[in-house]
Amino acid sequence: MSRARRPALAAAALLVAAGLGLTACGSGSADASNTNAVASVSSSAPSRYDGVSLDPAYQRPQFTLTSDTGGTYDFTTVTKGKPTLLFFGYTHCPDVCPTTMADIAVALRDVGTDVAKQVQVVFVTTDPKRDSTARLAQWLGQFDSDLPTKFVGLTGSQDVLNQAQLSAGVPVAQDDGQTHSALLLLYGADDKAHVAFDAGNTPRDIAHDLKLVANGS
């Protein structure tokens, strides 16, 4: 990523730190009062990452939901110590969510099989009323069909989904899930996310940082 893009990322980081890390997909508006203990974001210090540096780092969250295969999925246990991309959104989203999943898929094709097969990609719905396990599996299958590790879709009761977002340190989605966090979080072997990605990042940025995290950097 060119250094010229750093100011844009800094501005985005400050918005997140102010509790404005919500994006409205298609319609609806964000409630700026909902900070939900969102951690601060580094906006000035040099970083080896191409994404948005998180300072302090986000701890890998603890939550148990239902996977798109119908089984119980303990996020902390299943992903512990593994490079993990976590995103909250919904499958009927017209823009941000499919773009994010497509960017992840492009990045995973770029990093090579050895890295790609280590990475866990977890998509947690913010719209449990419409996102059934079958719907999640069908939608995610559009992005991961040729990848060595399949994306995982998770759903559950609204209360548990809200707690999952709080545990991850992102604002709880509003407007029936259509206004949700825009951050794609990347956790490493230390079970912390030192970097995240937003609309200002490209698949190349994600690929760059995935390689660093997968190699323990």
Average pLDDT value over all residues in the chain: 85
Q: What is the mean pLDDT of residues 134-142?
A: 98
Highest mean pLDDT among 10-24, 27-41, 96-110: 96-110
**96 CB-near residues (< 8 Å, 6+ apart):** 23, 25, 89, 182, 199
Residue 81, pLDDT > 90, answer yes
Share of the chain above pLDDT 90, in %: 76
Domains of the chain listed by start with CATH number? 3-214 (3.40.30.10)
Strands (E) in 75-214, as ranges, are 84-89, 120-125, 152-155, 179-181, 184-187, 192-197
Residue 148: both structure tokens together: 């060595």
Q: What is the mean pLDDT of residues 83-104?
A: 96
Q: What does the pLDDT read at residue 43?
A: 44
Cα–Cα distances in angstroms (integers) from residue 179 to residues 8, 32, 132, 213, in the given order: 22, 11, 19, 29
Of residues 48 and 16, the one with the higher pLDDT is 48
Q: What does the pLDDT read at residue 47?
A: 81
Between the two ends of the chain, the Cα-to-Cα distance in Å is 17
Give me the residue label for tokens 């951690």: 39
Determine contact, residues 170/16, Cβ cutoff 8 Å: no
State pLDDT tens for residues 188-203. Answer: 999 999 999 999 999 9
Question: In angstroms, rounded to a whole number, what is the distance separating the alpha carbons of residues 143 and 167?
Answer: 26
65: part of which helix (H) or strand (E)?
Answer: strand 64-67
Amino acid (1-letter code) at residue 12:
A
Cα 182 to chain center, whole Å?
Answer: 8
Residue 172, pLDDT > 90, answer yes
